[in-house]
Structures are given as structure tokens and as C-alpha cells.
Amino acid sequence: MLQLDSLTKRYGALVVTDEVSLDVAKGEIVGILGPNGAGKTTLFHLIAGTTRPDSGRIVFNGQDVTREGASLRCRAGISRSFQVPHPFAGMSAFENVLVGATFGRAKSGAADYALRALELSGLSRKANTLAGALTLLDRKRLELARALATEPKLLLLDEIAGGLTESECHELLDVLRKVHAEGVTMVWIEHVVHALLSVADRLVVVNFGRKIADGAPKEVMDSREVRSIYLGEDVLV
């Protein structure tokens, strides 16, 4: 479904994404790990189209979208959530999701799809609640619902479990499993490692903009390089 070919992004002398290549198959849940500043969110900006690479190529469903803008990529089926939810606080949850359903899709029936996205994310009971009055968990659900309202084929999740309690995290994981069962492919950046390990088919680890590991979750987490760079363990012990 998604192919990244040697993506590089620089800001002056700083190389944020350094020749990253990655393939994501339809139906996969791919988890991305890495320390702060590793280039994970920049990678999402590149995939979603809000930032353009200095070099490299992005292919989505067989089409080169490297130079396509974010709105066209969204309508093609790439959607994302953001690490810190920023809803329209003075609008209801339904109205927030309706924005995504109206402008992020190329089809009619926005209201029906907004209601479906709210239901899938477990937020239908709060449809008429002002977004500014929602709890953190419900704001995370709203962020997810807005992304789902665009009818994505590929969903990019940026630290959606961050800041949640253990029980809230389990609730969110149940929602993500339902979303995946609907046929949505996911790429998920997360620091809550146990949450990621519970659903990911594959893990990718990045550090200083470079991909340093890509494989089965256990294999990646057992890697000496990953333990040394990401977990800070002394591999000589």
C-alpha cells in the first residue's frame, strides 16, 4: 500500500530524515519507535504531504504522490491524527468530525459518515458535547474520529496513547482493534511501548533520522542496537 524510497529531509545542516525506506502492506499495523528528536513525526509530515522531502519518493497504492499536497493525499486515503489534539473547542464533537467528513472525502453523505466515525471511535454518546469540555481520552477519541471521517485506507497515528491512564489505554486499544477490523491499515508512532506491542504486526525503530531496525516485534525489541539506542541499555552487560 505504501512505499517510501530513500526519503530525506534537511533543515539547514540538520538531517531530520536520512534516506528512510519503508514498505507497508495493506492490512498491516506497523509501529514506529524511537527517542525524542529521532525524526518520527517529520516522517509522518512527509507521508501526509504537509512537508515535502528534499529527495526520495513516496508511492501510495501504486501512485507516486511525492509532489501531491496534503488535501489530495487525504482524499486518496491517507489520514492522520496528531500527538496533541486541537479540536474546534467551541463546536460540538459531531461538528468537529463533520469538518473532516465534508472536506477530507470526495464523496457525498458527510453527516452519515461523521456519525459512523463517532460510533466507531466510541464517542457517539458525546456527539453534542462541546469539544472543549471533553476529557483527554475523549479528545483522543475525537482526534481519531476526525481522521476516520475522511474514510482513510491508511491511518497515521501519532502518540495517540500518550497521557492516558492504563485503563484508558486499554479502552483506546479496543477502539483501534475495531478500526483495524474495518480494513484500515495503520502506521503508529508511540512511546507507550506495551500498547504498541499489543497490536503491531511489525516494528520499525528510527534514531537520528535513520531506520535502524525493521521486523517482528520480539526480534526488534531483542535487538542489541535497539536496546542500546532506544532503551539506553549497556549492550556489553
For 23-39, how does the pLDDT look when each residue is reduced to its tens digit (9 = 90+)?
A: 999 999 999 999 888 89
Q: Total structural domains in the chain?
A: 1
- Answer whether residue 215 is part of any domain: yes
At residue 226, φ and ψ (nearest 5 deg) are: -65, -45
Other CB atoms within 10 A of residue 135 CB: 11
Domain membership of residue 100 (yes or no) is: no
Residue segments in the chain with a per-residue pLDDT below the cut of 50: 236-237
Q: pTM value? A: 0.91
Q: Is residue 119 part of a domain?
A: no
In a domain, 180, yes or no: yes
- Predicted confidence at residue 231, as pLDDT, reads 61
Q: Is residue 127 part of a domain?
A: no
In a domain, 117, yes or no: no
pLDDT at 230: 62
For residue 232, what pLDDT is reported? Answer: 65
Tell me, what's the pLDDT at 227? 84
Q: In terms of C-beta density within 10 A (0-12 exposed, 13-18 middle, 19 or more buried), how is residue 154 classed?
A: buried
Residue numbers of the domain that contains 219: 2-85+152-229
> What's the pLDDT at 163?
86
- Does the residue 33 lie in any domain? yes
Residue 236, domain member (yes or no): no
Question: How confident is the model at residue 237, as a pLDDT?
Answer: 44
Report the relative pairing of strands 14-24 and 78-80 from DSSP bridges. unpaired
Q: How far is CA 64 from the centre of its chain?
A: 20
Helix segments in the chain, DSSP class H: 40-48, 70-76, 93-103, 110-120, 136-148, 166-181, 193-197, 217-221, 224-229
What residues pair up with 156 in beta bridges, in sequence order? 80, 187
Query: What CATH number is associated with residue 31?
Result: 3.40.50.300
